[in-house]
Amino acid sequence: MRVCTLGDLLLDVIVRQEDEPATPAYERRARTLVGAGGQAANVAAWTVTLGAQARFVGKRGTDAAGEIAAREVEQRGVEVVGPPVEGRNGVVVSLVGPDGSRTMISDRGVAPELRAEELDMGWFRGCDWLHIAGYSLFRGPIDEAAAKAAGAIRALGGRLSVDLSSASAIEAFGPERLVDRLALLGPDVVFANEDEQQALGGTVPGAVTVLKRGAHGIVVRGEDADAFPARPADVVDSTGAGDALAAGFLVGGAELALETAARCVGQLGAMPPAGW
């Protein structure tokens, strides 16, 4: 099985605060991690960890951040394709609280500049799934690249999944516009958390919806709705848990999705350690 992903390959900077916030002048202890990240790249890396093949499609910078991110995701067995260009690779800073909750500050760099004409249709050959990060639907020209990739995967007999990515991005883009875009793409599976589903205004017609509810597990809605409880976990960092869950669902369904998410939140960082 092979999963292709389209979207961001970023440099993650994770800062987990070990102390509760006090005054602005208070110096807090922290654990830090710098490494590859980005929603699409995370899904690809977890896919490989689960025993399937993965190919990441996206644009990345040739600066130090881009070189580190590409090298680290390749070390995890992901095939990286797409144009490296001069420019600033994206960086995400994730501020993680002592309870594992996180606040993300994102700079996507050159990733949204991927153009449809830069895609090689051979990249999608042999892919059972194409997973598109929702961030790739909110800006151009990568939105046109995502649409072209979706058409290619359909023509080749594969299936399509989309993660809605961000409630605030949906609100800024416009929920009606996004519903129209999703209707054109026709995803087989849509991943969303509760805030994202509310921002969209409901479920996507014709798609299986995987509603991510954090510690309460997931609800999978198709013709029927089935609830699955979360797996017990000592939560260190929730960064990337939804990406790990998406990889698990695409590879093996709801149970594997929840097991993979539990593995992710028990460590610092969004990606599985190399060689895990």
Task: Write the pLDDT tens digit of every residue in 159-206.
Answer: 999 999 999 999 999 999 999 999 999 999 999 999 999 999 988 878
Encoded amino acid at 265, one letter: V
The pLDDT assigned to 206 comes to 82
3-state secondary structure of 27: coil
Residue 69, in any domain of the structure? yes
Tokens of 257: 């999705």
Residue 123, in any domain of the structure? yes
pLDDT tens sequence across 101-156: 878 888 999 999 999 999 999 999 999 999 999 999 999 999 999 999 999 999 99
Contact (Cβ atoms closer than 8 angstroms) between residue 130 and residue 149: yes
Residue 131, in any domain of the structure? yes
The residue behind tokens 């875009």 is 181
The pLDDT assigned to 20 comes to 63
| Cα gap 167→155, rounded to integer Å | 31
Residue 107, in any domain of the structure? no
pLDDT tens sequence across 14-28: 998 876 655 566 667
- Domain range for 173 is 2-8+37-88+112-265
> What is the value of pTM for the model shown?
0.93
Confidence band of 242 (pLDDT split at 50, 70, 90): very high
| Cα gap 120→40, rounded to integer Å | 18
Contact (Cβ atoms closer than 8 angstroms) between residue 143 and residue 137: yes
| Cα gap 110→90, rounded to integer Å | 7
DSSP structure string for 191-215: EEEHHHHHHHTSPPTTSEEEEE-GG
Residue 188, in any domain of the structure? yes
Residue 232, in any domain of the structure? yes
Residue 32, in any domain of the structure? no
Residue 95, in any domain of the structure? no
Name the domain count of the chain: 1
Which CATH number covers residue 121?
3.40.1190.20
**What's the gap between Cα 113 and its chain centre?**
18
